[in-house]
Structure 1
Amino acid sequence: MEIFRELDLVRSINDPIHGVIRLTMNEMRVIENPLFKRLHHIRQNSFLYKVFPSAKHTRFEHSIGVMNYAHKMLVSILENGYIAQYRSDIVKSQENFDETLEIGVGIDLCNLLLESEDSLKQTFIELRLAALLHDIGHGPLSHLFDAFAPNVDEFMIILRSDECIGIDEDFVNRIEILLGEYYKKQSEKGKTDIRIEHEHVSSYFTYKVLNTIEGITKNQIYNILTILKPELQLGERLITIFDKEFDVLPLLNDIVASAPIDCDRMDYLKRDSYFAGVPYGDYSESRVLKSMLAYANSQGKIRMGLKQSGLHAIENFLQARYEMYIQVYGHKTNEACRAMLNFVTEEKDLNYKTWSKRELTSRDFEDLYISLSDEQFVNHLLGELGEERKTALQDIKDRNLWKRVYEFEEFIDEKNKVTSLSEQFSKSFEEMKRKFGEPKFKEYRDERFPLKDVDSGAQLLEKSSKGFYVVSSQKIKEGSQIIKSLNNGLRILRVYSLDRENAGEFKEYAALNVLPILTKIKNSEN
């Protein structure tokens, strides 16, 4: 109740997943900004509603739900630290703290924030706003819009033309460095047509939106940007533990966007499951929240840990995530939409200049994003594409989707790129094209590693020999046979028919002449 009063949570929104969500007036001002309101018209899962008709929810309500989960996560971390301190599960002497800092040691973050004037309130303010704004840079139809994103140089021209951005050299310089590093990494991968990603647009729009709200300081904006994109290194929020200073912002980044559990994943699993009308994305929220605890490390950062005693709750969460990827996001009809979208984006010369024959200014760029809904973007594209790809996009719109002829699945690791099964699949595909004619088929390979990032974020915490929490030497997936098995990659090998009328004939041929060969190879390998 104390933090409720401190934050002035005086407004509310009713949500089907969370019930009543309380908001501050500044959060309402963010929501009412045109750059945020546009998310009303951007679906969370693009064309998933072609499979699950009620899955038409948007990034608008998802973003508000993510903010609510961010608040819950931080409250739980504070409560769990306080309880651990009460039970003597938190280190109490500087000597023990210094001895275990190198591996990471659990802390009571609540009392530490209370010791720093106004830090508790400011931490909540910055976390909630970061979570609320985490998706503000998404364009219509998500990755299809990436083909229209400006390149690095074009984006810097847009930024520098913005009166409220161009004068802030610290921000502009950090963005320029970040984009330079991004360009280098993409170039090393062999990419030539390198365009910015939605996270870069999110940083820009977050600055623009927050800069319009009276009472939000530049330091707060810098902290929020750093929570969303730590590489920007614009802000910090320091607390003192046994005469050493530690930055809390890395923990807040873990809450918003870290594996294996963050507020983004917590919301979209529940929300996507609810609107798709399936049970797969459900998990025990209370048990997951109970497992969270903050820890300090030798790099001077506060990070999120997951208690080993809560490993089964983490298993439950990751199983829900795995099932949603396999049963919902990877549904054959949704994948048909994805395959057709990939085909559409192969069109040459797609770029943001199709909207204008001149260099876009920041005003043009902002107006473009505000004006486009999923539907408007598709309608615009239909006027820009060549005939073949225009037909494919219109077919998606009309739900005249490519028909699956046959498919096969195999488990792989990230190094296992070519197998005898995938080689035979390619041969079978070529035979199908020779027999029935090449234009009738499309091969689609989808390699999914739903839990590949399971050990790249929060660390597992265990009790030390002296009884307090430290970072375990064991990784999360090593601590659970279930998580380890779910961590296998899944390669889906699928052939689609563009000729819907004769798809039945193709399926019959594949059933008699292709699948038995693939099954024999798979059985011999097992």
Structure 2
Amino acid sequence: MRFEQNLTGKILDPIHGIIRLTEIELAFIDHPLFQRLRNIKQNTFLYKVFPSAMHSRFEHSLGVMHLSYEILTNMGVNAHRYEKKYKDDLIYTGLTELPVHVIQELRLAALLHDIGHGPMSHQFDSFMFSKEDFQEFFGQDYPEISALIKDGDNVEHEHISLLFIKVIFDSLKDEYKKLVNIDNVLAIIEKDFTSDKVCLDIDTETETLSILPLLTSIISSCPIDADRMDYLLRDSYFSGVKCGIYDHNRLFMSMVPVQCDGAIHLAYKESGLDSIVEFINARANLFGQVYYHKTNRSFSSMLSKVCSLAKQANADVDLFEFTLPSDAEKKSYLEQIQDFYENNSDDHFLNEQLAVAIEGNDAAEEVNNDIVHRKPWDKVYESKLYPDNLNITDVINKDTVKQLTLTIDEMITSQDIDGSKFTIDVMTDNAFKDISKTEIKLLEKQLDGKYSVTAFKDSNKKLSRYQSIKCFIRIFAHHSISDSFGMELVNRIDQCKDGFLREHKLIESKRY
């Protein structure tokens, strides 16, 4: 049976048109844990700058699922065309014969990859509980998820995503549970997820190949994946800034599945590099003109200030407030965390949940009120760094960024300036962000018409000219103290920044 016969539902989307759905996808979508994504904005404060940017993670998730399927089907067609033309053994031609359950597992992974995002997006992660708490509350029932959390680290939204997928799956009708292996879905989302139930091997005439690298790369890889492809188009459309546009059909034509090293991988033809560069440039333009807009960053950094002030006042602040389920009337830990996420939209969290957590903390309350009433703090300092002579594996040294932020903060507060009334915002971007984690390949055509496969991250000679790294350093201050940042202090900040960067490497060169 062809998979298309299962696509009995449909949703109209302004970006992709009609998005078709299977019954099991509709069952996941109808669950309250997925419906809550309607109330979680894709870009937390962007609507305060671009009023129509009110779109949510709900429709983005649908878009990622749609594009993942488009990538898979286009690769299947491309493989047959290229194999027929070049007779190349590297090309894997079996995608059009994939088992229905594998296709469904890919689509579910794409649909559900963001389901664990809390309110206010990544800012919420600062309030997440520890690995030890997760093990106490959920570790006995979900040991594979607990094993993904590093010792000493807090839980992240990716871990909550895996937890919620399990929760929804367990609530489905038995007829739906028979359609997929839910552990395969988790493994596609998080490649480090391990379970003896994961089975994503494909038998060929000569060997058994793992298709997991290809499926994972479709949803999350560098420099292009279904997640980025959707949010560029969607954020550009809803912000009204037409700079995240690219030709997705040309990208589809460049993608082919290859078999090497005992697995099936997503690869790009070398002749498609221009399309890849177009995508990279579209993303860079959107970051520069939309995501890094000073007012958007002002509100985001102000929220960071609220969170840090709350933590400073009470290091043990617990938004979840789990209680021991000692009797039948009390809810289990799992029910409590579901209730918390289902009831906390962006607006409710900012206006109610966070307000309660900072009650009595005058400094934090003042900042939070400025956010709610759209009173962005003034930009009193800005420095933009554009390092050159880069390799595609070069990355921003995050520890250096943290130390730079702390150094500037200490210098400013030493001038008797109230630390609760200014915030330092350091934003970085890398054209080849996460290149070290990607498993995609580059197909290079030889003189005889055959192809050779190179790991994308090892293609520096061909791609380094397209590498760009940005580092924006901004300081935002409450209007009551913005005049304190006169030229003398600004020059001292600049000297502090320059001196620090001379002593430390902002760019970390990694070789793999």
TM bucket normalised to smaller? 0.7 to 0.9
How far residue 517 of structure 1 moved from its aligned partner, in angstroms, is: 7.8
Separation in 1, partners of 2:434, 2:335:
37
Does residue 176 (structure 1) correspond to residue 176 (structure 2)? The answer is no
Partner of residue 509, structure 2:
none
Separation in 2, partners of 1:11, 1:361:
34
CA distance 1:438–1:512, shift in 2 (3 Å): closer
On the 8 A contact 1:70/1:128 being kept in 2, the answer is: yes
Partner of residue 353, structure 2:
380
CA distance 1:24–1:514, shift in 2 (3 Å): same
1:224-239 alignment runs, 5 A limit: 224-234=185-195, 235-239=198-202
Q: 2:441 aligns with which of 428, 437, 459?
A: 459
When normalised by structure 2's length, the TM-score is: 0.83
Q: 2:117 aligns with which of 124, 138, 142?
A: 138
Which secondary structure state, in structure 2, belongs to the residue aligned with residue 230 of structure 1? Answer: coil
Unaligned residue ranges in structure 2 (runs of 5+): 326-331, 388-393, 500-512
Q: 1:445 aligns with which of 426, 438, 441?
A: 426
CA distance 1:244–1:329, shift in 2 (3 Å): same
Partner of residue 469, structure 1:
451
C-alpha RMSD over aligned residues: 3.2
Partner of residue 208, structure 1:
167
CA distance 1:354–1:229, shift in 2 (3 Å): closer
Q: Kindly provide the CA deviation profile for residues 116-143 of structure 1, in whole angstroms up to 9, marking residues without a partner as x.
A: xxx3322221111111111111111112
How far residue 453 of structure 1 moved from its aligned partner, in angstroms, is: 2.2
Deviates more, 1:149-158 or 1:392-401: 149-158
Q: 1:392 aligns with which of 362, 367, 371?
A: 367
Does residue 37 (structure 1) correspond to residue 35 (structure 2)? The answer is yes
How far residue 434 of structure 1 moved from its aligned partner, in angstroms, is: 3.1
Separation in 2, partners of 1:130, 1:218:
14
CA distance 1:35–1:136, shift in 2 (3 Å): same
Unaligned residue ranges in structure 1 (runs of 5+): 92-104, 167-171, 188-193, 522-526
CA distance 1:473–1:203, shift in 2 (3 Å): closer
Which secondary structure state, in structure 1, belongs to the residue aligned with residue 282 of structure 2? Answer: helix
CA distance 1:236–1:520, shift in 2 (3 Å): closer
Give the structure, 1 or 2, with the largest relative contact order (CA under 8 Å, sep 6 or more).
Answer: 1
1:117-196 alignment runs, 5 A limit: 119-159=98-138, 166=141, 172-179=142-149, 182-183=150-151, 187=152, 194-196=153-155
Q: 1:58 aligns with which of 56, 59, 78?
A: 56
Separation in 1, partners of 2:399, 2:324:
45
1:247-266 alignment runs, 5 A limit: 247-266=210-229
Does residue 109 (structure 1) correspond to residue 68 (structure 2)? The answer is no
On the 8 A contact 1:428/1:514 being kept in 2, the answer is: no
CA distance 1:426–1:344, shift in 2 (3 Å): same
> How many residue pairs get matched?
474
Q: Kindly provide the CA deviation profile for residues 367-387 of structure 1, in whole angstroms up to 9, marking residues without a partner as x.
A: 111111111111211121122
On the 8 A contact 1:41/1:58 being kept in 2, the answer is: yes
How far residue 364 of structure 1 moved from its aligned partner, in angstroms, is: 1.0
How far residue 10 of structure 1 moved from its aligned partner, in angstroms, is: 1.1
On the 8 A contact 1:30/1:36 being kept in 2, the answer is: yes
Deviates more, 1:422-431 or 1:30-39: 422-431
Q: 2:267 aligns with which of 302, 305, 308?
A: 305
CA distance 1:242–1:323, shift in 2 (3 Å): same
Aligned sequence identity (%): 33
Which secondary structure state, in structure 2, belongs to the residue aligned with residue 232 of structure 1? Answer: coil
Separation in 1, partners of 2:181, 2:52:
38
**1:205 counterpart letter in structure 2:** F
Separation in 2, partners of 1:324, 1:476:
25
CA distance 1:399–1:247, shift in 2 (3 Å): same
Separation in 2, partners of 1:433, 1:272:
40
How far residue 472 of structure 1 moved from its aligned partner, in angstroms, is: 2.7
Partner of residue 361, structure 1:
333
Partner of residue 269, structure 1:
232
1:285-434 alignment runs, 5 A limit: 285-298=248-261, 300-346=262-308, 347-348=310-311, 349=315, 351-352=317-318, 355-358=321-324, 361-378=333-350, 379-385=352-358, 386-412=361-387, 414=395, 430=411, 434=415
On the 8 A contact 2:67/2:230 being kept in 1, the answer is: yes
When normalised by structure 1's length, the TM-score is: 0.81
CA distance 1:511–1:277, shift in 2 (3 Å): farther
Deviates more, 1:59-68 or 1:351-360: 351-360
On the 8 A contact 1:157/1:361 being kept in 2, the answer is: no
